[in-house]
Structure 1
Amino acid sequence: MNQQLELLETKVAFQDITIEELNQMVTNLQADVSKLKEQLTLLSQKLQATQSPNIANLSEEIPPPHY
């Protein structure tokens, strides 16, 4: 009986360590995802800012002379 109890206590101790390691991994991954979201937002804003002035609407386009 004592041996079974010790075995269960050992398993629980290892499970606690594993859960803590997994929790740390999830926390690190969440931080990485947050950073990537910020970078994607900034990149998207920069892309929109550089494209807007250079592109005319289709209604403003003049047909080429060969039409």
Structure 2
Amino acid sequence: MITGGPTAARWRKSSHSSGAQNRVEIVVLGDHAAVRDSKKPNHGPLVLAAECWAGFLAAVKAGHLNG
């Protein structure tokens, strides 16, 4: 459970978000991470367990998700 919920958290934008078109925000709360589209914050975030988020980041950094 995310205490306080992601709406009460301090979101930060990805350093790789560019211009007004691609803005991803993340917040890490305890043992969860939440990701949302900054242009549509009311659509709700995608909430992931911390180990899932860590696995995703590792795959990105290793280049496994490059199309």
Structure richer in helix, relative to its length:
1
- With normalisation by structure 2, the TM-score equals 0.25
Larger radius of gyration: 1
Structure richer in strand, relative to its length:
2
